[in-house]
Amino acid sequence: MAIEAWYMDDSGDDQRLPHHNNPNVFVPLSKLAEIGVMYWKLNPSDYDNDEELKKIRESRGYNYMDLLDLCPEKVENYEEKLKNFYTEHIHGDEEIRYCLEGSGYFDVRDKDDRWIRIWIKEGDMIVLPAGIYHRFTLDTTNYVKLMRLFVGKPVWTAYNRPQEEHPARKEYAKNFIEKAEVDLEAH
Ligand X SMILES: CSCCC(=O)C(=O)O
Instruction: Cite the annotated binding site by residue number.
Output: 89, 91, 95, 134
Backbone φ, ψ for residue 48 (5° rounding): -65, -25
**Alpha carbon distance 65, 146 (integer Å):** 10
Question: What are the CA-CA distances from residue 117 to residues 7, 46, 47 (Å)?
Answer: 6, 28, 26
**Alpha carbon distance 1, 22 (integer Å):** 22
Beta carbon of residue 183, minimum distance to ligand X (angstroms, whole number): 28
Binding site per annotation, positions for Ni(2+) = 89, 91, 95, 134
Selected range binding Fe ion among 33-41, 90-98, 116-124, 144-152, rule: CB under 5 A: 90-98
135 in Cβ contact with 12 (< 8 Å): no
**Residue with smaller CB distance to ligand X, 117 or 134:** 134
Beta carbon of residue 14, minimum distance to Fe ion (angstroms, whole number): 21
Which residue's beta carbon is nearest to the bound Fe ion? 95
DSSP state of 61: T
86's contact among Fe ion, ligand X, none, with CB below 5 to 8 A by partner kind, is none
Q: Alpha helices, DSSP H only, in the chain?
A: 29-34, 51-60, 78-85, 167-172, 179-186
**Residue with smaller CB distance to Fe ion, 47 or 86:** 86
Beta carbon of residue 89, minimum distance to Fe ion (angstroms, whole number): 6
Residues 91-150 binding Fe ion (CB under 5 A) are: 95
Beta carbon of residue 50, minimum distance to ligand X (angstroms, whole number): 20
Distance of CA 18 to the CA centre of its chain: 16
**Residue with smaller CB distance to ligand X, 4 or 25:** 4
Residues that bind ligand X (CB under 6 A): 68, 85, 95, 97, 134, 136, 146, 156, 158
Say which amino acid occupies 97: R
Residues of the shown chain interacting with Fe ion in the complex, contacts defined by CB under 5 A: 95
